[in-house]
Amino acid sequence: MEAKSPQPGTYRTDGQALLRVPSAPPPYRLAVVLHGAGATADQALTWLRPQPGANGLLLLAPQSSGSTWDLIAGGYGPDVIRLDAALAEVFRKFPVEAAGVAIAGFSDGASYALTLGLSNGDLFGTVLAFSPGFMAPMLRHGRPRIFISHGTADRVLPIERCSRRIVRTLRDDDYPVTYREFPGGHDVPADIAAEALRWWSTP
């Protein structure tokens, strides 16, 4: 993976993450995608990779060190270290647009994406949160744009005590939030993922 002539494909980085390199020419936009509890980095890539507009994206999917992300399991630790290492490798090897970095996630990964995105809004200009349960930023930096979606029949993370509450809090704090509810359960529907990518591409 050389910065001047990256080969398309999916690679494992030194930071214990998967990196999908597109066939489109640089510079790239980058999306960090975080899997849900009990899932894998490979699964995280499946939400955005097939969608229209993803052919020009670098997709970085870290693997959590445990069954879910460190914050949910008790506090920041090995997963932040892994993510930092993976991001450093990507930025070293690939030309990434400074204003084109997003963090996305599903379920526990969405909660982690919101938390990291609000804490590091100077890096992550966009947050894509699919069915989050909560957010817990210790500090807030920057003002990222936020896209949140949630199924109205979600029995894993019920919408009323999760996304509806999160969205109200964010809007009360004057964050720019686009919110989509859909008739379904705990899922990332293809049309919602496609809409999220279109929304990110057209600020």
Compute the Cα dihedral for 166, 167, 168, 172 and give only its sign: positive
Instruction: State how far the Cα of 134 lies from the Cα of 74, in Å rounded to an integer.
Output: 14
Cβ neighbours for 3, distance < 8 A, ≥ 6 positions apart: 92, 93, 94, 95
List pLDDT tens digits, range 160-203.
Answer: 999 999 999 999 999 999 999 999 999 999 999 999 999 998 86
Instruction: Report residue 89 CA to chain centroid gap.
Output: 18
Q: How far is CA 171 from CA 101, 126, 128, 146, in A?
A: 22, 15, 16, 10
Q: 19, 13 in Cβ contact below 8 A?
A: yes
Domains of the chain, each with CATH number or no CATH: 9-201 (3.40.50.1820)
List pLDDT tens digits, range 71-125.
Answer: 887 788 899 999 999 999 999 999 999 889 999 999 999 999 999 999 999 999 9
In whole numbers, what is the pLDDT of the chain averaged over residues? 92
Whether pLDDT at 1 is above 60 = no
